[in-house]
Structure 1
Amino acid sequence: MKKYQAEIVPLNAEVIQTAAHGHAEFIETATELQIKIEMFDTPANIQHWEHFHGFPNGQAAKIATSAQDVNHDGVIDLPETEAVSGTTMVPFDNAPHEMCVPNDNYPVADAQGHFAYEIKVPLEALKAKFQEVFGTPDLELDKRVIYIHGVPQDLQLPATVAGVVGPYDQHVTLPIATGQIEAVD
């Protein structure tokens, strides 16, 4: 059994007017990956995409900071995170092992901005899909970071904010919190 955790800290808090934060726990057994994520102070009453990001070549990912705001618009958008965090890898939705990132099956925060997500993922299926997409079955969770995304559609964002994924716009993909995934002894 391998255990990992992440303290999830706010990102873009000044823009979204709330400091989203929480924690995540991952337990990998011989047959499954158990995932638990609890978030507080997220934008209320909306769906929040959540994933782990990383580099397919095994390079260690780091969380984005204000240093990643390369266009200096005051917002760290999804494309700006990629230099230090890599690409979106596994979604924490209703079927992580299918690795279908753009969908409407992510947690929805309550009126207080809280949500708790818990799922057991079949490890063999997840590793097979990970191999198909990234060329390796090794999830290397201790080299990944977690991102929580999503702000209300009526939030005014600078025109420079990027991050359209299929039919989903920057409001859906804007990172609001992030955390470094670390192995636990």
Structure 2
Amino acid sequence: MKFIIFLLVGLVVLGSCGRNEFPNYDDKEVITLEEEQGNYRAEFKTLNKKWAKKVHGYSILWLRGNQFYARVSVSTRMPHVQHLQYIHEGTKCPGSGADLNQDGVIDLNEVIIASGKVLIPLDGNLVTRRGGEEGFPRGNEEGKYIYYRAASFREMMINLRGRPDRQYATVPAGAPLRLQERVIVIYGIASSMTFPIACGEIFEDYDPYE
């Protein structure tokens, strides 16, 4: 859980200053909402076979009006392990060259170098980037889980504006989130250790309900 605490340091400042810095927030976000409308998908691939030999699953993200929805369905084969899920700012998942210290695994720092800082935690509260860690999913006895959450997209964007810190990236005022240019990384927590186990690159998908 040290990784969660470290990531959340400084978020108090971001959360408190967003509205003051951009008083015309609602006007600026009309364009963003229109540009982001759509459906997005990520297919997960195993990052570290030393920790998780085979991870498979997917995530579906979609935006309808002002509502943002996120669904993750994954099999990790890691029974009863809690999993952190983060949308990172980068466009590519870590490849074989991401293991910079050549120790045989891709660690947290190497993920951030390869895939950028965290943008959105897929936890119990999508609106904020702090306070929702209790909502991170936990695998069942077979190492499977399904996660589903919805939130106001405008409220999410308030917390994505502002100044970046060492762990969290931000989105400039008036700029779209561009989900189709991001990645989702899944982490496992076991024996007080946090380790990345899977990653999926987000792409724009068709509407499954049309």
Quick one: which amino acid aligns to residue 204 of structure 2? A
1:4 aligns to what? 40
Q: Distance in 2 between matches of 1:16 and 1:102?
A: 25
- Please tell me whether residue 175 in structure 1 is matched to residue 196 in structure 2: yes
- Please tell me whether residue 54 in structure 1 is matched to residue 92 in structure 2: no
Could you tell me how far 1:10 is from its partner in structure 2?
Answer: 0.7
- Please tell me whether residue 85 in structure 1 is matched to residue 82 in structure 2: no
Identity, % of aligned pairs?
A: 25
Partner-residue secondary structure (3-state), 1:125: helix
Query: Conserved in 1, the CA contact under 8 Å of 2:85 and 2:187?
Result: yes
- Pick one of 142, 152, 174 that aligns with 1:112: 142
Change (3 A) 1:90 1:101: farther
Could you tell me how far 1:104 is from its partner in structure 2?
Answer: 3.4
Partner-residue secondary structure (3-state), 1:84: helix
- Pick one of 116, 128, 141 that aligns with 1:98: 128
Q: Distance in 1 between matches of 2:180 and 2:53?
A: 28
Quick one: which amino acid aligns to residue 142 of structure 1? Q
- Please tell me whether residue 33 in structure 1 is matched to residue 71 in structure 2: no
TM-score scaled by length of structure 2:
0.72
Change (3 A) 1:48 1:101: farther
Query: Conserved in 1, the CA contact under 8 Å of 2:73 and 2:146?
Result: yes
Could you tell me how far 1:79 is from its partner in structure 2?
Answer: 0.7
Quick one: which amino acid aligns to residue 22 of structure 1? G
| Rg larger in structure | 2
Cα RMSD for the two superposed structures? 1.8
Q: Distance in 2 between matches of 1:45 and 1:183?
A: 32
Could you tell me how far 1:42 is from its partner in structure 2?
Answer: 4.2
Q: Distance in 1 between matches of 2:119 and 2:179?
A: 11
Partner-residue secondary structure (3-state), 1:126: helix
Could you tell me how far 1:145 is from its partner in structure 2?
Answer: 0.2
Q: Distance in 2 between matches of 1:114 and 1:31?
A: 30
Change (3 A) 1:115 1:106: same
Which has more helix, going by share of residues?
2
Q: Please say which of residues 124-133 and 94-103 is displaced more in the overlay.
A: 94-103
* Cα deviation digits, residues 74-126 of structure 1 (max 9, x gap): 01011102232100110010102101288333000001010000111111100
Q: Distance in 2 between matches of 1:31 and 1:114?
A: 30
